Chains A and B, each alone.
Chain A
């Protein structure tokens, strides 16, 4: 547990010092939402919950990939990942620390993205956002779990950054559909029972991504 806390604290300290991940994620979210708003309604008069949900999830996906890549790349400097592999730290705990760090960065970016979405899509700051929160949290957790594992794979390959979207997005599509559907319903003011089946699908994919990441991370970071 001390190793897990040490790695997580170190990642948060590095982020607090440079702010590279969160600034990049927020800027990316802003860019995507602006593009979506102007693409869909240049007059900015959109008040469409499903469209807002779709824009939010696009921002979530791209921000998540950037966050996970940075969390893993930070360990490539000076061979620090090797030091972690050789340390007494359990590989599962290392994976957990990395994905929690990616999740935290992603949630910070998503909070900013939700605020921007409400403003750009002329929605209201009301209780519907509280219903949206667990959906976004589940999506961020699942995508952090998946993209942290895949970033560890792509980080070992030359130009692996280009490979990450090709691997992550198709694998996340079922969860993405569930997330967009649930978010659209929540923003439209539907009761939780109306989108419960989509939440169950999100939870199921979170379990799959977390389990797969935990089991495979050891093999992924091992060298030949």
Chain B
């Protein structure tokens, strides 16, 4: 089936409450995007176009040049700029050859608006990030 692998999406906390049929619908909206090692995936302070789920490979997250964390298969990023239509809050760089599945903002917003469970998971994720930022 085209789109993101359903099994990968099932492991993403954001979609954990959804049944298989709903996940299959969402999976079809994703498109594969490949990045070479060292390539910038998203850049801090630029406008955001897509939300990404890592299928294989690793990436690093940095803010103002300081490395904060690394991302692995099953991790996702890029949702904040899509929610507030602001700029990217961090830079993500491919630490190895990276295969992601991306969901553009054109598909992301209707998905969240039409699916309360996804919206709730996003809120929880945002709340966790807010707490973490307050503790920094």
Q: Do A and B come from one complex?
A: no
